[in-house]
Amino acid sequence: MKLTHDVFLAQQQKLVMTPELRQAIAILQMSTLELNEHIQQELEENPFLEEKEAEETVEADADADRNEGLEEWLEYFNDRDIEYNQREQKEETSFENMITRKPSLYEHLEFQLQLIIKNPDDLIIGEYLIGNIDNNGYLIIDLDEVATRFNTPLKHVEEVLGIVQTFHPHGVGARDLAECLLLQLKYYGKDTPLTQAIVCKHLDDVARGRLSRIAQELDTSIYQVQDICDLIRTLDPRPGLQYSNEDEIKYIIPDVIVQELEGEFIVVVNDSNFPRLSLNHTYQSVLKQPGSFTPDVRKYLEDKMGSAVWLIKSIEQRRMTLYRVARCIVDIQTDFLRRGIQYIKPLNLKQVADIIEVHESTVSRATTNKYIQTPQGLFEFKYFFSSGVQSDTGSAPVSSKSIKYLIEEIINNEDATQPLSDQTIGQLLKQKGIRISRRTVAKYRQELGILSTTARKRYEN
């Protein structure tokens, strides 16, 4: 086979993601809180950006400040050799950074360990055990491995673990769910032999509501089993979460506010807390002066100015897209806004995209991690998108969320001593013009976190 080198001319189409396009997409996806933080950061880093003042100062003072700033700025860039990729920012001490927080799970356990254990050897083993407790509060290392690591008897490690398991939150340091629950029952003084037997041998039956089976195998009354199962359900299966992820507190600020005014719904994009950005005219003037900078410095400044322009445009584009999407959702879900969840309509991203004439991915990005404040409460944008079921009456399809609401309402009003089966719930929904299978009822019930018929059954003396 003979190999040759040839040159071919071919035409092809491909999408190029420019930095400006990436910035616009990123800003569209940002929540109100994230965008506010991004704007503040850009104000600090980009000299071409400035915040518009509500009221202009006296013209003479403004001119004086502008001239003074112009001279200082020119002097700065003429006297210094700028390193673009290795700029250092000195962090100033601020009392705003000194914010108190709850300790992490490890810190909380470490504090108790130092308080209770004084023996240096026990302290080292205790610290190692605490370091191997996960966010849920469970010990994730084998005790034999710990004993081998510290060349100490297994009994010694078990004794130290026993001390750790007395710490708060109750149930911490357990090796499985049963041990976690037993530790909590012991703390509350409820660890009777019958309770221990149910926890150790019948947790699966408790979860499935098979009380009769538990009572029969343990030779006790079903009423006593029911009381113990009620107690077990009050315990915390993941005690460590009380202290985990404390640094990840997220504040929800509505991105859009919907209010009813004289019978009409008004949509307002919640950007009132954002700084109003504009280009700094002083620095623009400096950039226009020929021969003021070296080519590298000029390119750096031009890039910064271009970035500032695109940021302002991207924020405005985000605002308009968010408004159009919200306006479309409000127009479609008017009945929900006035009358409640049972009147929410089926909706998908493509429907909204077609109405406002944008790509489906744009609607997806505009609604990701964003919230809308309505007369019915605060909701995530994604809440309004759900599938639907065609009703028997021939009218518009019924949203799956409306159906879930009806299922929950039916179960809340049932006789707990004779809970309704999924089949019966399906028949009741059929009477309301909604035809769904028993399997679909079971699926929606599970998504709502509602137990099965057997597990919901209550026994009365």
Q: Which domains does the chain have, with CATH numbers?
A: 105-242 (no CATH), 256-384 (no CATH), 391-456 (1.10.10.60)
Q: Within a 13 Å sphere around the CA of 448, how many CA atoms are in the beta-carbon half? A: 22
pLDDT at 93: 45
Q: For 240-268, what is the mean pLDDT? A: 81
For 387, the token pair is: 């599938």
Helix (H) or strand (E) holding 389: strand 388-389
Structure-model confidence comparison of residues 232 and 303, the more confident one:
232
Count of CB atoms situated within 10 Å of the CB of 456: 16
Q: Report yes or no on whether pTM surpasses 0.85.
A: no
Q: Is pLDDT of 76 > 50?
A: no
pLDDT at 3: 62
Q: For 2-22, what is the mean pLDDT? A: 63
- Highest average pLDDT, of 125-129, 301-305, 344-348, 420-424, comes from 125-129
Beta-bridge partner residues of 347: 386
- Pairing assessment for the beta strands 388-389 and 398-399 based on DSSP bridges: antiparallel
pLDDT at 58: 44
For 310, the token pair is: 């695109």
Euclidean distance between CA atoms 27 and 262, whole angstroms: 34
Tell whether the torsion through CA atoms of 385, 390, 396 and 398 is positive or negative.
Answer: negative
Which conformational region is residue 241 in: left (phi greater than 0), alpha (psi within -120 to 50 degrees), or beta?
A: alpha
Q: For 151-155, what is the mean pLDDT? A: 94
Mean pLDDT is lowest, of 254-258, 370-374, 391-395, 396-400, for 391-395
Q: Is pLDDT of 89 > 80?
A: no
